Structure 1
Amino acid sequence: MRVVLAMVGLVIVVAAAFLLVRPKGLGAATGDTPNPGGNMEALAYQSDKPVTKFSKPEQVIDTKHDYVAELETTKGTLTIQLYAEQAPKTVNSFVFLALHHYYDGVVFHRVIPGFVAQTGDPTGTGMGGPGYQFGLEVNKSLNYDKKGVVGMARTMDPNSNGSQFYITFGPTPNLNQQYTVFGQVTAGLDVLDKISATEGPGAVLGDKRDKILSVKILAKPK
């Protein structure tokens, strides 16, 4: 089933894919925030090669720890501060999948300049997932108010979060409190800008799409 990101008061379902609907008039924010990854230790991977199907995620995080994800992409590294305390189910699932190399080689299958770069589906179609789903997690303090916000894609069903996620290219207030925010890009916003668009002029499709090469998870006690 395809994940749908909807505008307030308007839900658009295209085929059955995980799809984000771009609101009009998006602004753009620039500049990186400090890298929070210093003095953190990398978590050990739990598999030697990508595993893409599970019945449910194991508990792998402690909300009393800080977590950072380093996404190595074909355009460079994106460093993401993960919000384990505010979105524990989502962060736990993301970390669990990353530790099983789930995201290795996964393309950015939908990239719309000024809106979002979406990824997280090993099939590259926008219709895939890890074999399980979980519910929406919203926090009044976390909104799509800047560039580099990381959120979960889902269908119209608020319990359909899986593995697909997106990173915003600018403030996207229409998504506030409707889709789980679970992280923020703290370094590599310039890398985000380099990810090839899949829609609009100069769109890159097929095997030429940018992809995630690997994900490293770093952690430390708060």
Structure 2
Amino acid sequence: ELLLNHSPNPSLFFSSGFCTFGRIVFQLFSDVCPKTSKNFLCLCTGEKGTGKITGKKLCYKGSTFHRVVKNFMVQGGDFTEGNGRGGESIYGGYFEDENFTLKHDRAFLLSMANRGKDTNGSQFFILKSDWFHVVFGLVISGFEVIKKIEGLKTDSASRPYADVRVVDCGQLITKSANDGKLPLQLQIFFLKM
């Protein structure tokens, strides 16, 4: 059941597969990176409509993981071009690096992919090693799914031969057992075609 709502530090999950690839659950760090987290969240819900720059729907639905580098990262979020050259933030075009408070001090962090300083759009990556980009979330389950995606055969530009595509996305609210609050979960389904 998909419900729209907001929480200070939303959790989200991706389900991917040929028929079923599995699920990845993230925790967003909205308390540390509110602007970056809001961008990601709104691109998952599609609630911001059409982009000011590209004229495309501001939503990950239909986009692919376009870059896979084994033992390093998987990258997606280019919903305009599908090849790593496109994308747009909910703020119109790019937005500035929010901060570098959180470090890439562990594997499976969710970070913004960009073309350099202050060029954040819609692209993100799940990192398995140290790097210098804005960290705004963490994988909390589904590590095996990332390993499956990493295991896909790629061309010389690290593009997977098989698509891993977002076929649906949105927010799912679940009740936390420890405090009764309703943390936010984002549901994104991936289909390998």
Identity of aligned residues (%): 31
Aligned partner of residue 179 in structure 1, secondary structure: coil
Report the CA distance between 1:99 and its aligned residue: 0.8
Correspondence for 1:114 among 60, 71, 76? 71
Report the CA distance between 1:125 and its aligned residue: 1.1
Q: Which amino acid aligns with 2:15?
A: E
Distance 1:71 1:78, change over 3 A: same
Structure-2 separation of matches of 1:185 and 1:166: 11
Q: How many residues align?
A: 155
Aligned partner of residue 211 in structure 1, secondary structure: strand
8 A contact 2:26–2:139 mirrored in 1: yes
Distance 1:66 1:203, change over 3 A: closer
Partner residue of 2:188?
none
Distance 1:216 1:70, change over 3 A: farther
Partner residue of 1:215?
169
Correspondence for 2:84 among 88, 112, 126? 126
Structure 2: any 5+ residue segments left out of the alignment?
47-57, 174-181, 185-193
- Mapped pair 1:143 → 2:103: yes
Aligned partner of residue 153 in structure 1, secondary structure: strand
8 A contact 1:137–1:179 mirrored in 2: no
1:153-192, aligned counterparts within 5 Å?
153-156=113-116, 158-168=117-127, 170-172=128-130, 175=131, 178-192=132-146
Structure-1 separation of matches of 2:183 and 2:24: 22
Report the CA distance between 1:213 and its aligned residue: 2.8
Deviations 1:61-111 (A, max 9, x none): 56xx23011112222211100000111110111111111171122111000
8 A contact 1:72–1:213 mirrored in 2: no
Report the CA distance between 1:120 and its aligned residue: 0.2
Distance 1:203 1:139, change over 3 A: closer
TM-score by length of 2: 0.70
Structure-2 separation of matches of 1:80 and 1:160: 23
Partner residue of 2:37?
91
Structure-2 separation of matches of 1:72 and 1:80: 11
8 A contact 1:144–1:171 mirrored in 2: yes
Distance 1:161 1:80, change over 3 A: same
Structure 1: any 5+ residue segments left out of the alignment?
1-40, 45-59
Deviations 1:14-65 (A, max 9, x none): xxxxxxxxxxxxxxxxxxxxxxxxxxx9542xxxxxxxxxxxxxxx856xx2
Q: Find runs of 4+ consecutive structure 1 residues off by over 4 angstroms.
A: none
Q: Which amino acid aligns with 2:84?
A: G
More strand by share: 2
Structure-2 separation of matches of 1:186 and 1:197: 25
